[in-house]
Structures are given as C-alpha cells and as structure tokens.
Structure 1
Amino acid sequence: MKLGSPRTDDHTIEFLLAFDGRIHHLDGGYWMKFEIRRIAPTSERPHGLRYSFTLHDKFGRRVIGFDNAHAVKPGRHSSPSREHDHWHRTSDDPGRPYAFTTADKLVDDFFTECERYLSERGLSTIVIDEGEMGARKP
C-alpha cells in the first residue's frame, strides 16, 4: 500500500487520535506534547483535524510546534492563508504556513524538526518516560 493513501492515512489518524493528551519525556528535560481531535471539516481545517504537536524545553517553553490553532499572519509579500496549518521553528517564531497533505507526513515532519533541533544540542529523541497531560509524575 502506498504511503499517504487513504487507508494508510486513516490508520495514522486513528493512531494519532489515541495519542491525544500524551506527553513524551526526553533527555535534558525536553518533552513532546500531542493534542489532536477530529472535528467537522472547515475552510480553515479542511482535513477535519485540530492538532498541536509541540516540543518544549526544560523550562516549558515551546521550541518547535506544528498546529492549526490560528491563521498565520502573512508576510510582506504574501497573501493571507485561509487554512490554519502552520509550524513554529523556534520559540519566538510567530509561525509559517505548513502544507498539510497527510497525517503520515505531518508526523514525519514534526519528528524530523524535533530531531534536527535536539541533535543540534547533542540530545537524543529517545523517549525516557511517557505520561498524560494533567497527570503528575510519581
């Protein structure tokens, strides 16, 4: 089966929906947070997903993020995007458009950026602990 085909993407979406609220703890106090919900498709979210995948540093600052919570402000030479899909490359990046194609590609792109960021700091992407949002660590 071709990656990104409807059956593969449906499987990925179901897998991701089960990750809603999941936190992955990494080396150096970094952590990943996954939020994803199925919604009615709209012009802003035509794929019918509301998502936020973020990497945070040990101080809780978001350092990488892929989400569709809001529209990205257009640059000087670009027109406003109707779709809300975007990503933040740094903690102070207001966001840049992200071309959502499939859930598989979204996950790949998120992990690729997290790996890039962490490897630049000599850190691993190996998950050392898992939890749920709102749950306290023992």
Structure 2
Amino acid sequence: MDAERDPSLDTLLLLDGETFVIDPAGHYWVKFEAIRCEVTATRPHGLRYSLTLHDRANKRIVGFDNAHAVKAGKGPGARKPAAFDHTHRLRTIRPYDYIDAASLLTDFWKIVDAVLDERGVKR
C-alpha cells in the first residue's frame, strides 16, 4: 500500500455529485463535488473539490473549494498562497490548509453546524 495514500479520499470521492437537504423544513442543503485531477502546483493533492452549504434562496453561505487563488491577508502586502484551497463564509474568503479528505470534511461540517446554529436552524 502507498504510504502517501489518503484513505479518507475514497469517502470524499464517493460524495461527488451528492446533494443533501439538512433541515426538516428543506431550507438548507449541502452539495459535494470532488474529483481527482492532475497534480499541479495549485492542486498538489490531485483533487478538485467544492463543498457548499446553500440557503432556501440557493445562496451559497459556506463553501470550501480550490477553484481559484485567494490572497492571504489584505492590502498591498498581502501574499498569494501556494495553493488555491480556501473557504467562503458569507462574503469572507480565507485560505484553507488542506491536510487530507477527512480533515476537509470535518472542517466543513464544523462551519456548517456553526452557521446553522447561528441561524437557529433545527436539525
């Protein structure tokens, strides 16, 4: 077995294309996209992903993805990260330190739970 293989990656890849309603009223849902891709400087883990939480107006309110570059910090001194991994929470975008698929899923659900709790959403 490859020592560098991420065993949790299989779980994430199985979620590709899945959408789950996560509240009884049907106002919030999560959507998963995850596919293998060529290993590059911007996607060193060989994975293209997007994990998102949407509200009833289909507005993305949480997202974890690696679709585009983001700056680390603000202003003219901000540096570009080596990878494209980042999070969206409402209008805030921050770099994300991708470790493995299990951590990505755990971190995503932590933020989703926090946002839903802030909104008083019962699950």
TM-score between both structures, scaled by the size of structure 1: 0.78
Structure 2 partner of 1:43: 41
Q: Residues 1-138 of structure 1: matches in 2 within 5 Å? A: 6=4, 9-10=6-7, 12-27=8-23, 28=25, 29-74=27-72, 75-76=74-75, 77-90=77-90, 92-93=91-92, 95-124=93-122, 126=123
Cα distance in 2 for partners of 1:19, 1:101 equals 18
Shift of 1:73: 3.2
What CA deviation, in whole Å up to 9, does each residue of 1:60-99 have, x standing for no partner? 0000000000001342232111200000111x22x21001
Report which structure shows greater RCO (CA 8 Å, sep ≥6).
1
- Percent identical among aligned pairs is 44
Cα distance in 1 for partners of 2:11, 2:4 equals 14
Q: CA RMSD in A?
A: 1.6
What CA deviation, in whole Å up to 9, does each residue of 1:39-70 have, x standing for no partner? 11100010010000000000000000000000
What stretches of structure 1 of length at least 5 have no aligned partner?
A: 127-138
Q: Higher helix proportion, which one? A: 1
Q: Which runs of 4+ in 1 moved over 3 A?
A: none
Across the two proteins, how many residue pairs are aligned to each other? Answer: 117
Cα distance in 2 for partners of 1:100, 1:62 equals 21
- Counterpart residue type for residue 57 of structure 1: D
* Preserved CA contact (<8 Å) 2:71 2:78: no
* Preserved CA contact (<8 Å) 2:12 2:34: yes
Cα distance in 1 for partners of 2:53, 2:37 equals 23
